[in-house]
Structure 1
């Protein structure tokens, strides 16, 4: 049976969520990207681990909060996108195509090979740190 990994892209308005997904799929930067992309599926032949990747872009509109919550509940992992004003912390860019594939690859890897929870409820301590921080300008 073929495994599907559901990755959601989450973040504030105009931080580049849709641009990041578009850059992954098209492998080029674009100035004209829809506000929210729908039904993006990366087939097994285009993934490292021979799995299907289902990408879910989310809206930042406050009217769409319930839909975002539903997406969170159906997702295996989330890529949180935010604007970082310090260039030194830049690890990824949809505009210059730096580390776009790597970002989604790391999210896929986190689902397939989990190392531990981000928070252990029994011990009330944090687990491992986030894999990476990204700037999607």
Structure 2
């Protein structure tokens, strides 16, 4: 049985990654959103599967490409977040984020959601 699950949220800047995390933790949409949320750990006793869950936010402005690649390798689930009102963020799913995740997917074990990614509509 899996001892813990690590979920990585990535995508273009300002698409709502941090807002999604803060909404989950705070149970309401935040009025003020920092550039990046610190790693959140949901304890096992409050998850349906009784497994600790770590949620990791990625910020291109605050973290390097090397940090991102390391997070992809460590992640069990990668969620690509995009803005449905911004065509560029949708295009980047195919041209940037999926190729990046695919390049590092073989280095770590990913849980498959949809086709290895959970595309979150915000």
Please list every run of 5 or more consecutive structure 1 residues that lacks an aligned counterpart in the other structure. Answer: 87-109, 119-127
Deviation at 1:132, TM superposition (A): 5.7
Q: Which has the larger radius of gyration?
A: 1
Tell me the residue number matched to 1:135: 121
Q: Distance in 1 between matches of 2:41 and 2:54?
A: 5
Structure 2: gaps spanning 5 or more residues: 87-109
For these two proteins, the number of residue pairs brought into alignment is 99
Q: Distance in 1 between matches of 2:115 and 2:70?
A: 25
Compared CA separation, residues 22 and 85, structure 1 to 2 (3 A) = same
Alignment of 1:12-31 (within 5 A): 12-31=12-31
Question: Does the aligned pair in 2 maintain the 1:2–1:52 contact within 8 Å?
Answer: no
Answer with 40-49 or 1-10: which moved more.
1-10
1:4 aligns with 2:4: yes
- Secondary structure class of the residue paired with 1:78: strand
Shift of 1:31: 2.3
Alpha-carbon spacing, 1:135–1:40, altered in 2? closer, same or farther (3 Å): same
